[in-house]
Structure 1
Amino acid sequence: MKIVVDTNCLRASIPPQSKYYQLYLEFHAEKFDWYVSNEILLEYEEILTRTFSIRTAQTVLYQLSLAPNTVHAEPAFRWNLVADPDDNKFSDLAISCNCDYLVTNDRGFDVFKSLDFPKLKIIALSAFLQLF
């Protein structure tokens, strides 16, 4: 399974006591491939540093960088279909890499529910974790 993870879901999954920590556990068990671009990694770093600490951000990014099921890619095309320009990097990568899901709790991606093309499956983090 190929996925792109929005920053809000990554941030929610970091504390071990979080009900979303399962995302990390399933990733560590190599149950899916996590697609990232340079732009996404930079946002991860910025938000995780602001939310937790620079050390936490570096640890998470280090683990992502070394994991065999992390795929580094860049979008082949910029669709720019999401109202928030900062969110387009996630959907553009997911579409370009033919990912199975964009995992997000952001309602801004609901635009894809009404589009015939390009197709992109948006799934909330809790629904994604129920797949396991």
Structure 2
Amino acid sequence: MTTSVKNGKKPKVVLDTNVLISALVFGGKPRQITDLLADEMIRVAISHEALTELRRKITAKFPDSVEVLKRFEKLLERDAQLVTLGSIQINICQDPDDNKFIETAVLGNCDFIISGDRHLLGIGQYEDIKIIKPAAFLKLLEDSKL
């Protein structure tokens, strides 16, 4: 599998909630990844459940970032695939709440799950879906000379 857009195939990813919160609130490498979505260099799949969790956590813990979240939601509406969960059930994560990210990746035909969660990262790969940290994903893109 290539992470290059040179062949016309942009990598498709699932971003876990903590990566999204980091991107929206703190910036850094997670923000670089959401910027790639805005620049149409990657494709993103997200579930209704993950979006609800993101809204809940941002509103409760980072109320100053609610406006940033609203702008990001508009980007997701325009550019992301919204996945409806329930047609498959995957139970391999130590934290059952993390299964939704793998289910989203499978249903969305994704190449990567980008996460900082040690339990998800410990799985490493599910079927053909690699589970990696934001920095590792950015390095793969950089190495493919995008």
CA distance in 2, matches of 1:40, 1:18: 19
Which of 126, 130, 135 aligns to 1:121? It is 130
Which residue pairs with 1:58 in the alignment? 70
What is the CA deviation profile of residues 73-112 of structure 1, one whole-angstrom value per residue up to 9, with x for unaligned ones? 2243111211111111111111222210000010111453
Instruction: Determine if contact 1:103/1:122 at 8 Å carries over to the other structure.
Output: yes
Structure number having the greater helix percentage: 2
CA distance in 1, matches of 2:53, 2:82: 15
Which stretch of structure 1 is more off in the superposition, 33-42 or 48-57? 48-57
Query: How many residues of Structure 1 are paired with residues of Structure 2 in the alignment?
Result: 127
Structure 2: runs of 5+ lacking an equivalent: 1-10
Give aligned-pair identity as a percent. 28
Pairwise CA RMSD of aligned residues?
2.1
Which residue pairs with 2:102 in the alignment? 91
Structure 1: runs of 5+ lacking an equivalent: none
Which residue pairs with 2:14 in the alignment? 4
SS at match of 2:81: strand
Instruction: Determine if contact 1:48/1:56 at 8 Å carries over to the other structure.
Output: no
Kindly state the Cα deviation for residue 120 of structure 1 after the two structures are TM-superposed. 2.5
Which residue pairs with 2:8 in the alignment? none
